[in-house]
Amino acid sequence: MNDTPAAPGLRERLLRRIRAGVDAPLGDHEFDALAREVFAHQFALNTPYRLFCERRGASPSTVEHWTQVPAVPTDAFKAAPLVCGGPEAAGTVFRTSGTTAGRERRGEHWFTDLSLYDAALREGFAAHLLPEGGRMRMLSLIRPPDEVPDSSLSHMVGEVARELGAPGSGYFVGEEGIDAAAFGAALREAEAGGTPVCVLGTSFAFVHWLDAVEAGDERFALPPGSRVMDTGGFKGRSREVSREELYAALGERLGIGTEWCVNEYGMTEMSSQFYDGVAGVPGPRLHRGPTWVRTRAVDPETLEPLPEGEVGVLRHWDLANLDSVMTIQTADLGFAAPEGIRVLGRARGAEARGCSIAMDQFLSASRAR
């Protein structure tokens, strides 16, 4: 392949692939062809990424398989605007939520076009939370996008509510926290109306809401078919709970069985999401990505690929990341199997040595510009 931008129409072909559904067969040969075309596009138009690749001796003419496309560590999104055409070509930016190092240290994911992003999030959500099809009333403990326009999670929930939500959908959290009274009233209304609802929230928000209703021993009996989507980890400031404990508590307070609770795993630096089940379907709790994403675990020190089932740090190839970088090296410990992935936590200290080296290489390439 020549070191030239991708052929015209790549975005449209990727859109067709995404709209075919999260489980539409995408064999390794077709994925490989699309991935290397995306890489050629990004190599040509994303200057910081091209410099990083050149320092590693990688280019579209030397990369012979999608597994050879250089991976950028997630911290690189804090160091440079990784967007094709530069920030001036971008219309949207999402920022990571971490603030401990100051606002200037937040990771930024820039987009020239949200068509792939929005299509990917709609297809993923619909397949896992609304497998029956149709719309559903959505009650959100995630802040609305107009309040936090640079939040990818808020954008996702806003897009889902707009495209898949039924009348009566609403947000019950703001800058001041959860509006427990309004949320409780919405739950009572759903309880009385008999129509299932979808409750969305971060694990952190659910922990705090559960603490609030526990004081008054308040309980609800949502209509059969109601469901929960939780996202994020399970550590809250008030207490720490496991996923099993969280779902048991939600079941007790909302009257929803564990099989109707689905966890979403995503990151600001990616355009696609993973889900650990389908609403209403019992089964093993492994997160599955859509067909246009590939995930491998790599050795934490060498970043070399590991056999399926062996624990390492997770690396994702996301075709929907057309405008930025397709291959993302996380610091998340986990393993990959044919059935899905399991995230076990963050690599720390010596465990993250390979990720640190990759970040040093990225910074060295950026300084040499």
State the CATH number of the domain containing residue 73.
2.30.38.10
Residue 316 lies in a domain: yes
| End residue of a domain, out of 243, 275, 307 | 275
User: Can you tell me the mean pLDDT for 266-286?
Assistant: 93
Task: Please tell me whether residues 68 and 17 are part of one structural domain.
Answer: yes
Q: How confident is the model at residue 2 (pLDDT cuts 50, 70, 90)?
A: very low
Q: For residues 293 and 317, is the Cβ–Cβ distance under 8 A?
A: yes
Residue 104 lies in a domain: no
Burial class, 132, CB count within 10 angstroms (exposed 0-12 / middle 13-18 / buried 19+): exposed
Number of H helices, E strands in the chain: 10, 15
Residue 280 lies in a domain: no
State the CATH number of the domain containing residue 230.
3.40.50
pLDDT above 60 for 355: no
Q: How many domains does the chain have?
A: 2
Residue 1 lies in a domain: no
pLDDT above 50 for 280: yes
Task: Please tell me whether residues 270 and 338 are part of one structural domain.
Answer: no
pLDDT above 70 for 78: yes
Residue 113 lies in a domain: no
CB neighbour burial string for 277-288, b if at least 16 within 10 angstroms, e if fewer: bbbeeeeeebbb
Task: Please tell me whether residues 269 and 308 are part of one structural domain.
Answer: no
Range of the domain at 30: 10-93+292-367
**Residue 230 pLDDT:** 95
Q: How confident is the model at residue 100 (pLDDT cuts 50, 70, 90)?
A: very low
Q: What percent of the chain has pLDDT over 90?
A: 77
The mean of the pLDDT values for the chain is: 89
| End residue of a domain, out of 248, 275, 302 | 275
Q: How confident is the model at residue 239 (pLDDT cuts 50, 70, 90)?
A: low
For residue 48, give Cα distances in angstroms to 25, 80, 86, 98, 111.
33, 7, 9, 23, 15
φ/ψ (deg, to 5) at 318 = -115, 105
**Residue 322 pLDDT:** 97
Task: Please tell me whether residues 239 and 209 are part of one structural domain.
Answer: yes
User: Can you tell me the mean pLDDT for 208-230?
Assistant: 93
CA distance 122 to 118: 6
Q: How confident is the model at residue 273 (pLDDT cuts 50, 70, 90)?
A: very high
**Residue 366 pLDDT:** 58
